[in-house]
DNA sequence: CTGTTAGCGCATTCAG
DNA sequence: CTGAATGCGCTAACAG
């Protein structure tokens, strides 16, 4: 970049002092109209762009909020990113987004980077970072956490998390209510809290309805499509009497759906299928997939607003995210007995 | 943020001068091992984090690359974002991502913001910004443009764009080759260059094979799922003899697929369907969707590398993105005649 | 209302 | 090898 124009150059061009230019730029004080006009002209003529660094250094405020997402291309977390953008819009703050790629070391590196950039608040989406680090962060600046149940204390930060267990339980209960008795489960990675909770919910529902939990009806996937496909194949081989499958997320459900298609099995006639997360595409699968929706966009937006309110010393009404069962056509009723 | 620790405080704590600390931090010069150790200790003890602003102000280098994407949650552009991350990884530069939401004013605002942040290079994904602005930008710093055919001159910047027209033509030619004669088209918005080019390719293929272009076989959508559904319904009403539909992007193809399902029409038996973009989900639709893939990830990665090479005064081997027809099961052969 | 002065935190001369 | 001095571009008292 070939030497950008500075504020003093503008001042010289307009024949005023630097402080006057600064005042006009920031509206810090009233300024003679004529001079103001001259300054604007000079800015235009020189193509001046204020240097954020210098400004931040002088004011001590960066005007930016750090956002740590596990994956910049994740269909699941991106909704939250959009929400954060919306929440920050018009506030004068802008988000700085970094991905941690589900790796603790990268996440820590990302946080360090954000801290170096003197973000005034931080929003953490999911991720692997130990709670311990999160608490340390919360002590330094306002933070918002999405997708993890963690107590950050009154003034430490806010966290928004869905009750995965309850939703999974509702979902499986729904299947049972529709007459299904042999219900498989394709789970997520066992080191993933969400995955474990969803599995727990599956067990809860079975036990609640007096159905035996059969470990062979559970196969583990990795939350990606291919593992759903493989998981379904394996379940099908061992359990010919299975009539429904609860898949721990929609992405794997897509894979499972394909496995059924390949075998000529119809959904929901031959097999009922439910997912989790309600990705945008799930209304358009064949047939549309029953799933549970988390209001990621709204959660992101609220977290952004929360950070802003903390920064301004205001309070904000709490937000109670409501998970919603999206009942669609991928589930059939079976005569019980 | 409660007054962060500064370099001088570290210096005092370690009993050395600020410059020494700076040298150790940046490895600018050899320093006595004992002092180095003391400094590291002090840094650890005080929890010092270098202030990026101050550093950038002093060095004149921000170490960041601006990225303008139309939509932070777009499944189409996100691959490119991942690619950019990969391309920048380990370079010492980090991306600053902003969305323009397909609005010229927001895009211009975003560019201004990036310029204020003194990004050293910029990558523009798609977007609405007039070519004129892009040229102006290219004159200031190295830029890379993805998804637009624009000549930025030798040292202005690089642009990577797919030949939409050619790909569309290939796709429709493929349909014709499989025996289809009455082929519908659900197009994108007419003010969208990609959409127009894909429509042109559709015409090209028809004319090339001596088939008449029938405007009533073309309905316009907006690149979103619902418009694909509606588009398909409309085509079906007016053209009972239609056997295949070329949908201008995968998202709309999903909608079209659902319309067919609702009417009990099978794909590909009753209707062949092809999309465009090859979204990640398209391998998992029912049946898997024939589409054309653009290597968004690699393109993004290359653009990042291109910017880096420009910044370092190096040259980089050119990249020729190759579009690829992903032939899957959504197309059936028809006996011609 | 406006100019002058003094830093913000750091890298980088320039002398030791 | 290391400390002192200077300035990056801007804002914020401080006096007019």
Nearest nucleotide (CA of A23 to C1') = D11
pLDDT digits (tens), chain B, 337 positions: 456 899 999 999 888 989 999 999 888 877 788 888 888 989 999 989 999 999 999 998 999 999 999 999 988 899 999 999 999 999 999 999 999 999 999 999 999 999 999 999 999 999 889 999 999 999 999 999 998 888 887 667 889 988 999 999 999 999 999 999 999 999 999 988 899 999 999 999 999 999 999 999 999 999 999 999 999 999 999 999 999 999 999 999 999 999 999 999 999 999 999 999 999 899 999 999 999 999 999 999 999 999 999 999 899 999 999 999 999 999 999 864 3
Cα gap A229→A234, rounded to integer Å: 9
Q: What angle do CA A79, A84, A86 make, to 5 degrees?
A: 95
User: What is the chain A residue with the closest CA to B119?
Assistant: A1
Q: Which residues of chain A are within 8 Å of residue B4 when distances are taken between CB atoms?
A: 118
Comparing CA positions, the residue from A288, A332, A290 lying closest to residue A179 is A332
Q: Which domains does chain A have, with CATH numbers?
A: 7-50 (1.10.260.40), 64-162+296-324 (3.40.50.2300), 164-292 (3.40.50.2300)
Three-state DSSP at B99 gives: strand
Average pLDDT, chain A: 92
> Is residue A115's beta carbon less than 7 angstroms from any atom in nucleic acid strand C?
no
Nearest nucleotide (CA of B8 to C1') = C9
Q: How many residues does chain B have?
A: 337
With b for 16 or more beta-carbon neighbours within 10 A and e for fewer, the A24-40 pattern comes to bbeeeeeeeeebbebbe
- Give me the CA B214–C1' C8 separation in Å, rounded: 68
Residues 271-290 of chain B whose Cβ lies under 8 A from any Cβ of chain A: 280-281, 283-288
B63 touching A (Cβ < 8 Å):
no
For strand C, which nucleotides have at least one atom less than 7 Å from a protein CB? 1-5, 7-13
A4 touching B (Cβ < 8 Å):
yes
The pTM of this model reads 0.91
Burial (CB < 10 A; 0-12, 13-18, 19+), residue A275, is: buried
Asked if A194 and A147 touch (Cβ cutoff 8 Å), the reply is: yes
A79 touching B (Cβ < 8 Å):
yes
Q: What is the CA radius of gyration of chain A?
A: 26
A59 touching B (Cβ < 8 Å):
no
Three-state DSSP at B59 gives: helix
A213 touching B (Cβ < 8 Å):
no
Cα gap B329→A258, rounded to integer Å: 12
The alpha carbon of residue B113 is apart from the nearest alpha carbon of chain A, in Å, by 9
Interface probe with A: pick from B53, B232, B311, most Cβ of A within 10 Å: B53
B139 touching A (Cβ < 8 Å):
no
Q: How far is CA B108 from CA A205, A289, B124, in A?
A: 53, 40, 12
Going by pLDDT thresholds of 50, 70 and 90, the confidence category of residue A148 is confident
Supply the pLDDT for residue A198.
Answer: 97
Supply the pLDDT for residue B3.
Answer: 67
Cα gap A121→A91, rounded to integer Å: 13
Using one digit for the tens of pLDDT, what is the confidence trace for B254-307? 999 999 999 999 999 999 999 999 998 999 999 999 999 999 999 999 999 999
Asked if A69 and A81 touch (Cβ cutoff 8 Å), the reply is: yes
Asked if A171 and A292 touch (Cβ cutoff 8 Å), the reply is: yes
Candidates A52, A281, A283; nearest CB to B118? A52
Supply the pLDDT for residue A1.
Answer: 46
């Amino acid at each position: 970049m070939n030497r950008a124009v500075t504020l003093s150059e503008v001042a010289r061009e307009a024949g005023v002092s630097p402080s006057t230019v600064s005042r006009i730029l920031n509206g810090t004080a009233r300024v003679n109209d004529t001079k103001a006009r001259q300054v604007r002209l000079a800015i235009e003529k020189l193509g001046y762009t204020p240097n954020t660094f210098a400004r931040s250094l002088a004011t001590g405020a960066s005007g930016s909020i750090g956002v740590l997402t596990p994956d910049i291309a994740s269909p699941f977390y991106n909704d939250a990113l959009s929400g954060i953008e919306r929440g920050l819009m018009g506030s004068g703050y802008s988000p700085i987004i970094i991905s941690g790629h589900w790796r603790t070391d990268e996440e820590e590196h990302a946080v360090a980077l954000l801290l170096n950039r003197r973000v005034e608040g931080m929003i953490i989406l999911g991720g692997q970072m130990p709670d311990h680090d999160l608490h340390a962060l919360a002590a330094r600046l306002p933070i918002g956490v999405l997708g993890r149940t963690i107590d950050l204390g009154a003034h430490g930060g806010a966290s928004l998390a869905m009750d995965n267990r309850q939703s999974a339980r509702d979902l499986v209960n729904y299947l049972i209510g529709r007459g299904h008795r042999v219900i498989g489960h394709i789970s997520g990675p066992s080191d993933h809290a969400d995955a474990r909770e969803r599995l727990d919910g599956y067990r809860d529902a079975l036990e609640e309805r007096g159905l035996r939990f059969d470990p062979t009806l559970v196969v583990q996937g990795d939350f990606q499509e291919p593992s759903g496909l493989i998981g379904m194949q394996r379940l099908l081989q061992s359990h010919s009497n299975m009539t429904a499958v609860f898949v721990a997320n929609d992405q794997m459900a897509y894979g499972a759906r394909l496995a059924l298609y390949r075998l000529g099995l119809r959904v929901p006639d031959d097999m009922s299928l439910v997912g989790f997360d309600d990705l945008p595409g799930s209304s358009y699968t064949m047939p549309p997939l029953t799933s549970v929706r988390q209001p990621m966009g709204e959660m992101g937006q609220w977290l952004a607003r929360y950070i802003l309110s903390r920064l301004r010393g205001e309070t904000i009404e709490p937000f109670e995210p409501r998970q919603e069962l999206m009942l669609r056509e991928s589930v059939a009723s079976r005569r019980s007995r």
